[in-house]
Structure 1
């Protein structure tokens, strides 16, 4: 199979990421104002519940499938067999997941009273199963899934403004969120025939996938637990409104994380391919590049949105959601932590066969989150949940760095260019100083936020160019070459 360049994959994945960021940025301000904190909280809580059953259905296949398909992408017959085996396993687990979810809907009164909402959200399970995104990522085919995702989101965007008109339309909002997030999976299934054959093989060896899939499943369990535990515990220990406030800060953080990790996503299959073919030197080169890009993007993004948390919340959700500001300030530093752990875990440990080490890091994160949420949520509410998440992400990264050292890699010491990191910090401080006067103005948030962003990030990039920081120079070189 002809390989695309990392640069092209990054561009296509950036389009995919951008569409995922723009959809909530456009729709959430409208939906939050129409539906209110309580109904937004209901949808958020239902999404968290369904996510756990979706985790059972996926069984670690999304991560394992990328590596498995990447290794055999040059052999269409073996690629087809691998994809079919994983799809069959996924379908069987989806049936079991639906059985468990429908039983919960029937037995839990608070969920049964909102059963229409949960039935709608449950469609995520089957859509994500048949979508086979792991196949597309494994063979580094990002163009189609980027286009399909954009089409689904545009359709959902138009329908959102036409159909969500009152507080009672939260189920419709949930359905359109499903369409935006997973509607493209239907197109993925039909297009997959161009990459693999769906003809029946005489024999299947699904058993060979069970052990590694279970390890990845355990990783997914621990990861989803600590990434959703904050919302779940907040919903149980407080009320729907608190969940709605917290969801605002999480959406902003998720958008920033998506920007920061978009390069790491395309590097994982390439890293697996390189190690399978003995190209360790190139493997280390792309990991070092990834660390540089993560620091270049994550540190200024985190600092900017912490500094301008209040206008960000006002623009995204309106004045009713201002209680979300403390949680946003606390949770935003997770952006660089997640960016780095995405590299140390998915881009380094997993291709090296160290998925068990990633599992241990996720367990450490889950336990940290559980303990701190139990202690902090009763007193601090959504800000306490944010603090638990911040500590959990720090624990994940720390365990992964230790694991890499045990495998003979100095982790950040070998992967990090100290001079470039220092330049990023200095440029961020300089950009912050340039926007100090804007923070003192009483401008409308719709004017203040974009004005601050232009000055902050323009100053940041200019200072880095003056200091000749590598990532900034690389971007300038790419832009000039396109002209």
Structure 2
């Protein structure tokens, strides 16, 4: 429909159609089988193998800007190619076959709600680039695309550890083991804050260096947009936990859908208002606002379940120690930027030194997670 309405998208017809293959293949993917069975060793190994193959193919086949179709195909292969392997390996876990004996009334409604929520999330994650291309130019989209790619890499890396907690928390709530559920949820929140907050600070401090390393000097204009959207890393991960670890196990998918749709609408409206004046900086800001909205609304929808855990002394103390220690991360990165002229040395020294001072600060502040690990 968008290809028919917006003429400036028709020039990329084949490019968009190639990426659309992801929709079909991902729909029939069976990733959930391995997540439910907590087979993360398989997921990790499979993902690494396909990523390595994709990187090799990029170096071999993508030589110039005219090879963008190869780039699209390899990107799709990297994202969904492993789904084929899923079917082969799944025979070791269960018997996959077509059946007509399905209780549609039981499953169809929650499936559509979750599907609609996923669709709404994709709308407000992708609408910024689409609206930016419509209201501005391909140059602006190119600059912003680097911002989005770096943001997605960091957000995925920092939040990947949370994926393993979803089945466990769902099982505990489903079995009515709320004491164990709340104890596990506290650990999840503490670990998330421990990783995401300093990671976000580091991303914001080293935005210019990261852009230079990944994209080169031609994309330096994306630095400020990356600093802005960096804040969304924190909220997107907490929103993920509140939705997948609280609302879905509590069968509150409808509330989660409403929250996501509200955030998507606000995101689109903000993009329309901000892009004419601020271009890609405006799209970054709208993404941050949308993620903050979903985080707050998802928490509010499940506050009767998790309010006592989120505002417990353990979580507040952990958050306090993380915030104080993260200040030293920022200082360390700032000092390294002053000392080292080489880009690689600057990044390497920043990561190593900030990691060391962050760990030492957490020990001195008696962070529960760090101290407990040292005592083992």
Do Structure 1 and Structure 2 share a fold, with TM-score over 0.5? yes
Spell out, residue by residue over 1:367-422, the C-alpha distance to the aligned partner (whole angstroms, 9 max, x if none).
22122111111111100000111111111111122212255744632486211211
C-alpha separation in 2, matches of 1:172 and 1:476: 48
Q: How much does 1:199 deviate?
A: 4.5
Task: Give 1:346's aligned residue.
Answer: 244
Task: Give 1:120's aligned residue.
Answer: 18
State yes or no: 1:387 paired with 2:281. no
- State which of 342, 357, 366 in structure 2 corresponds to 1:459: 357
Task: Give 1:472's aligned residue.
Answer: 370
- State which of 128, 131, 136 in structure 2 corresponds to 1:238: 136
Change (3 A) 1:240 1:410: farther
Task: Give 1:134's aligned residue.
Answer: 32
Asked whether the 8 Å contact 1:361–1:396 carries over to 2, the reply is yes
State yes or no: 1:368 paired with 2:266. yes
C-alpha separation in 2, matches of 1:411 and 1:370: 33
Unaligned runs of 5+ in 1: 1-102
C-alpha separation in 1, matches of 2:252 and 2:281: 34
C-alpha separation in 1, matches of 2:224 and 2:354: 22
Spell out, residue by residue over 1:259-296, the C-alpha distance to the aligned partner (whole angstroms, 9 max, x if none).
33223211111112112222111111111111101111
Of the structure 1 ranges 381-390 and 413-422, higher mean CA displacement relative to structure 2 is found in 413-422
RMSD (CA atoms): 2.1
Of the structure 1 ranges 159-168 and 434-443, higher mean CA displacement relative to structure 2 is found in 434-443
Asked whether the 8 Å contact 1:368–1:395 carries over to 2, the reply is no
C-alpha separation in 2, matches of 1:200 and 1:180: 27
Task: Give 2:154's aligned residue.
Answer: 256
Question: Any idea what SS the aligned residue of 1:353 has?
Answer: coil
Task: Give 2:212's aligned residue.
Answer: 314
Of the structure 1 ranges 121-130 and 444-453, higher mean CA displacement relative to structure 2 is found in 121-130
Q: How much does 1:364 deviate?
A: 2.4
Change (3 A) 1:443 1:169: same
Q: How much does 1:425 deviate?
A: 1.3
Q: TM-score, normalised by structure 2?
A: 0.93
C-alpha separation in 2, matches of 1:289 and 1:308: 29
C-alpha separation in 1, matches of 2:245 and 2:71: 35
Question: Any idea what SS the aligned residue of 2:28 has?
Answer: helix
Spell out, residue by residue over 1:173-217, the C-alpha distance to the aligned partner (whole angstroms, 9 max, x if none).
111111111111110011111111134556232342111111112
Q: What is the correspondence of 1:217-366 to structure 2 with a 5 Å cutoff?
A: 217-366=115-264
C-alpha separation in 1, matches of 2:208 and 2:328: 21
C-alpha separation in 1, matches of 2:198 and 2:352: 13
Question: Any idea what SS the aligned residue of 2:249 has?
Answer: coil
Task: Give 2:110's aligned residue.
Answer: 212
C-alpha separation in 2, matches of 1:461 and 1:392: 32
Task: Give 2:91's aligned residue.
Answer: 193
C-alpha separation in 1, matches of 2:157 and 2:5: 40
Change (3 A) 1:204 1:357: closer
Change (3 A) 1:446 1:155: same
Of the structure 1 ranges 456-465 and 119-128, higher mean CA displacement relative to structure 2 is found in 119-128
C-alpha separation in 1, matches of 2:313 and 2:93: 35
Question: Any idea what SS the aligned residue of 2:366 has?
Answer: coil
Unaligned runs of 5+ in 2: none
Q: TM-score, normalised by structure 1?
A: 0.73
Question: Any idea what SS the aligned residue of 1:131 has?
Answer: coil
Change (3 A) 1:160 1:435: closer
Asked whether the 8 Å contact 1:344–1:411 carries over to 2, the reply is no
Task: Give 1:165's aligned residue.
Answer: 63
C-alpha separation in 2, matches of 1:302 and 1:335: 7
Asked whether the 8 Å contact 2:186–2:310 carries over to 1, the reply is no
Change (3 A) 1:326 1:398: same
C-alpha separation in 2, matches of 1:402 and 1:372: 23
Task: Give 1:397's aligned residue.
Answer: 295
C-alpha separation in 2, matches of 1:341 and 1:109: 35
